[in-house]
């Protein structure tokens, strides 16, 4: 483990949800403290389980971990920090302005950008603060600022209030303007991020194609921003016991293939491989064995089996009842929502319905795969990258043409925000849905509640100006009420039977509910629960799933279904044509 041999002061761990950033950063923090260093461990995951890992109640101030001398830990919740920022802006006006005006300010500040900036504010306070620097040898973070945030901070226009005065007064940097007093602190933080003697950025990934590709993108993006001191952790690599268990053998083969095909840049990084654990890493002893334990200790005798849930065929039985309509699969990256969408489309078509399938994964080749299916299944593709490019070109040619160089740079960065991608994709799939009123349309993405609320506000506004200006396109106007119609639209929230994906899916559900949309069903994907297994490690993993399957069925889902792990259709290879074809 590179970061243990030559540890820099700041250690960041980045990667998508569920790859084990928190476990890895905890283990690193414990190892450094055990070597006599004084360490601060910071978790910025809103669903952080550090308290559970260390069996110590934590707050947003450093707290000593009694089992590990010299280690202190804290939880920082960027959502809460963003909420506090929102309240600072809105609070004073609650009694002064009408309720709908206050609500519209709040929604504007509810986007992903505000949370990202609020998270950076927390990083900056910790890494830019001299007192903190004196108190600890190392600060370990279980996440890292995004490229979008770092680029924004680098723009002079972000700080000049340019948009506040000359165009329309708001952009992603709105929150920054509210924090302008912090500028020096932010500059110091950005400088230390790109100093290889001070900061190491460790990319954490599973041995899966899509996760590795995302790590590659992050690596390139950070390097372009000057953050070049990077390392790679491959977490949860599976080593089967013997060759008796076909599931174990298939899983192992799939991981080897993904590692062999690893993209060039991350393949060249210093790499640490961490073995798959039979159960969640909880407790200081488990953390001390984190880097070396291939067996994960002894496996409990015959772990209990998780409850069963209705299967995929039953989900499709229910979806087909309307005879037509929109089915959207939704979930964070890596939960297999593209595969699930393809399977639903193929199954509906096989049952004789007219179906149109659209996916947003440009590498999915679903079109090729489903080409073998009867004419009642058509398919298309929405490529988010192309949609954003098209959208960006359009906005730069119109709005951008009227701005000076600083203004254009800031507008370009606004156009790189997560909100922009969502809007661009939303417009594209509004067109797709419009195409097909007499059939099933299956899409592998769904808009967030935030987008729906913004579009709704924009729609109300455009109603007023319709005579004068061009209005919201017909496709968008027709789509909004349909999204809210449970007889027409059904959202299937996809998750894995693991802590982080379940919490992320629950957050997506809360956000949809804000916009008056109730997901139709939850699908637990790639589950070991329905499988016959003999490998002891997989048996233990299967038992572990029970807790999350219960949580989905009892706490979150109106209707819960389960789809077993299957060779060739897990997230790692969901895009390869042969494999998608096999389900057809």
Helix runs in 292-404, H state only? 312-319, 337-350, 366-370, 384-398
Our CB check for another protein shows the closer of 168 and 292 to be 168
Among 31, 33, 42, 172, interactor with another protein by CB under 8 A? 172
The active-site residue out of 15, 17, 18, 296 is: 18
Residue 23 known to be catalytic? yes
- The count of residues interacting with another protein (CB under 8 A) is 63
Our CB check for another protein shows the closer of 92 and 374 to be 92
Q: Does 231 bind another protein (CB under 8 A)?
A: no
Question: Within positions 298 to 357, which residues make up the interface with another protein, using CB under 8 A?
Answer: none
Among 61, 302, 405, 469, interactor with another protein by CB under 8 A? 469
For residue 563, the SS3 value is strand
Beta carbon of residue 421, minimum distance to another protein (angstroms, whole number): 10
With contacts defined by CB under 8 A, name the span among 5-13, 25-33, 222-230, 456-464 that binds another protein.
456-464
Tokens 């996809």 belong to residue = 494
Q: CB atoms < 10 A from the CB of 11, how many? A: 26
Alpha-carbon distance of 502 to 544, in angstroms, equals 14
Q: Does 96 bind another protein (CB under 8 A)?
A: yes
Residue 544 to residues 18, 284, 537, 547, Cα–Cα distance (Å): 15, 19, 11, 6
Closest to 271 measured CA to CA, from 212, 317, 314, 311: 212
Q: Hey, what are 488's tokens?
A: 């027409």
Residue 45 known to be catalytic? yes
Among 45, 107, 122, 208, interactor with another protein by CB under 8 A? 107
Report the DSSP beta bridge partners of residue 141: 12, 42
- Transcribe 95-123 into DSSP letters: TTS-HHHHHHHHHHTTSHHHHHHHHHHHH
Our CB check for another protein shows the closer of 92 and 283 to be 92
Our CB check for another protein shows the closer of 95 and 292 to be 95
Q: Does 181 bind another protein (CB under 8 A)?
A: no
Our CB check for another protein shows the closer of 102 and 507 to be 102
Q: Does 445 bind another protein (CB under 8 A)?
A: no
Q: Does 382 bind another protein (CB under 8 A)?
A: no
Among 89, 223, 436, 567, interactor with another protein by CB under 8 A? 89
Beta carbon of residue 101, minimum distance to another protein (angstroms, whole number): 5
Report the DSSP beta bridge partners of residue 64: 72
Alpha-carbon distance of 272 to 250, in angstroms, equals 23
Query: Are 357 and 342 a contacting pair, CB within 8 Å?
Result: yes
Q: Does 294 bind another protein (CB under 8 A)?
A: no
Pairing label, strands 230-237, 199-205: parallel
Residue 18 known to be catalytic? yes
Among 6, 57, 470, 532, interactor with another protein by CB under 8 A? 470
With contacts defined by CB under 8 A, name the span among 133-141, 372-380, 470-478, 497-505 that binds another protein.
470-478
Q: Does 90 bind another protein (CB under 8 A)?
A: yes
Among 42, 109, 366, 382, interactor with another protein by CB under 8 A? 109
Q: Does 167 bind another protein (CB under 8 A)?
A: yes
Q: Does 398 bind another protein (CB under 8 A)?
A: yes
Q: Does 405 bind another protein (CB under 8 A)?
A: no
Alpha-carbon distance of 172 to 415, in angstroms, equals 9
Our CB check for another protein shows the closer of 56 and 160 to be 160
Q: Does 457 bind another protein (CB under 8 A)?
A: yes
What are φ and ψ of residue 330, in 5° steps?
-140, 150
- Give the CB-side neighbour count of residue 395, counting CA atoms within 13 A: 19
Query: Are 315 and 348 a contacting pair, CB within 8 Å?
Result: no
Our CB check for another protein shows the closer of 149 and 171 to be 171
Q: Does 179 bind another protein (CB under 8 A)?
A: no
Q: Does 83 bind another protein (CB under 8 A)?
A: no
Alpha-carbon distance of 568 to 226, in angstroms, equals 37
Alpha-carbon distance of 2 to 233, in angstroms, equals 10
Tokens 């279904």 belong to residue = 561
Q: Does 165 bind another protein (CB under 8 A)?
A: yes
- Give the CB-side neighbour count of residue 439, counting CA atoms within 13 A: 23
Our CB check for another protein shows the closer of 100 and 131 to be 100
CA distance between the termini of the chain? 43
Q: Does 101 bind another protein (CB under 8 A)?
A: yes
Beta carbon of residue 167, minimum distance to another protein (angstroms, whole number): 5
Helix runs in 485-535, H state only? 499-514
Query: Are 377 and 355 a contacting pair, CB within 8 Å?
Result: yes
Among 60, 170, 243, 308, interactor with another protein by CB under 8 A? 170
Q: Does 387 bind another protein (CB under 8 A)?
A: no
Among 54, 141, 163, 440, interactor with another protein by CB under 8 A? 163
Counting other chains too, the contacts that 55-61 makes at CB distance below 8 Å and 24 or more residues apart are 55/283
Q: What is the largest CA-CA distance in the chain?
A: 73
Among 164, 263, 303, 564, interactor with another protein by CB under 8 A? 164
Alpha-carbon distance of 199 to 313, in angstroms, equals 50
What are φ and ψ of residue 74, in 5° steps?
-150, 155
Question: Within positions 41 to 80, which residues make up the interface with another protein, using CB under 8 A?
Answer: none
Q: Does 473 bind another protein (CB under 8 A)?
A: yes
Active site members: 18, 20-23, 45, 500
**Contacts to another protein by CB under 8 A:** 89-90, 92-93, 96-98, 100-101, 104-105, 107-109, 111, 113, 163-172, 174, 177-178, 391, 394-395, 398-399, 401-402, 410-411, 414-415, 417, 419-420, 423, 426-427, 454-455, 457-462, 464-465, 467-470, 472-473, 476
């Amino acid at each position: 483990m590179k970061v243990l041999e030559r540890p820099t002061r700041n250690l960041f761990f980045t990667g998508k949800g569920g790859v084990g950033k928190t476990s890895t950063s905890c283990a690193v923090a414990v190892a450094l403290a055990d070597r006599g260093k004084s360490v601060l461990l910071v978790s910025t995951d809103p669903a952080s389980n550090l308290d559970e890992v260390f069996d110590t109640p934590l707050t947003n101030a450093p707290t000593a971990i009694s089992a590990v001398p010299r280690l202190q830990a804290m939880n920082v919740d960027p959502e809460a920090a963003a909420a506090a920022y929102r309240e600072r802006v809105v609070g004073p006006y609650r009694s002064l302005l009408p309720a709908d005006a206050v609500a519209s300010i709040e929604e504007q500040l509810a986007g992903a950008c505000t949370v990202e900036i609020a998270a950076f504010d927390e990083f900056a306070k910790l890494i830019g603060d001299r007192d903190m620097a004196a108190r600890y040898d190392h600060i370990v973070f279980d996440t890292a600022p995004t490229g979008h945030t770092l680029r924004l901070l680098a723009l002079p226009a972000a700080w000049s209030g340019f948009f506040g005065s000359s165009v329309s007064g708001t952009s992603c940097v709105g929150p920054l303007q509210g924090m302008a007093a912090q500028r020096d602190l932010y500059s110091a933080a950005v400088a230390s991020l790109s100093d290889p003697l001070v900061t190491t950025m460790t990319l954490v990934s599973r041995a899966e194609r899509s996760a590795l590709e995302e790590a590659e993108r992050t690596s390139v993006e950070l390097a372009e921003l000057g953050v070049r001191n990077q390392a790679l952790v491959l977490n949860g690599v599976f080593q089967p016991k013997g060759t008796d268990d076909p599931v174990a053998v298939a899983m192992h083969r799939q991981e080897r293939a993904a590692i062999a095909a690893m993209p060039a840049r991350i393949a060249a990084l210093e790499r640490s491989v961490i073995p798959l654990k039979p159960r969640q890493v909880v407790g200081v002893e488990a953390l001390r064995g984190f880097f070396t334990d291939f067996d994960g200790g002894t496996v409990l005798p015959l772990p209990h089996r998780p409850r069963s849930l209705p299967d995929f065929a039953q989900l499709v039985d229910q979806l087909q009842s309307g005879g037509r309509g929109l089915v959207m699969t939704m979930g964070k990256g890596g939960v297999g929502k593209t595969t699930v969408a393809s399977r639903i489309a193929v199954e509906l078509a096989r049952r004789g319905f007219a179906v149109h399938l659209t996916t947003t994964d440009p590498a999915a080749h679903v079109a090729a795969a489903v080409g073998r299916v009867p004419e009642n299944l058509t398919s298309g593709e929405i490529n988010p990258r192309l949609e954003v490019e098209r959208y960006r070109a359009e906005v730069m040619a119109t709005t951008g043409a009227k701005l000076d160089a600083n203004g254009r740079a800031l507008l370009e960065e606004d156009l790189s925000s997560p909100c922009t991608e969502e809007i661009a994709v939303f417009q594209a799939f509004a067109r797709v849905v419009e195409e097909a009123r007499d059939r099933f349309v299956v899409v592998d993405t769904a808009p967030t509640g935030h987008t729906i609320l913004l579009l709704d506000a924009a729609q109300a506004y455009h109603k007023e100006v319709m005579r004068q200006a061009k209005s919201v396109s017909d496709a968008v106007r027709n789509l909004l009420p349909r999204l809210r119609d449970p007889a027409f639209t059904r959202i299937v929230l996809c998750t894995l039977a693991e802590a982080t994906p379940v919490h992320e899916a629950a957050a997506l559900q809360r956000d949809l509910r804000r916009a008056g949309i109730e997901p139709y069903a939850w699908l637990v994907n790639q589950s070991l629960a329905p499988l016959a297994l003999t490998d002891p490690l997989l048996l233990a993993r299967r038992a572990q799933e029970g807790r999350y399957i219960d949580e989905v069925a009892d706490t979150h889902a109106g209707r819960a279904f389960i789809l077993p792990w299957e060779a060739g259709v897990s997230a790692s290879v969901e895009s390869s044509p042969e494999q998608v074809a096999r389900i057809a």
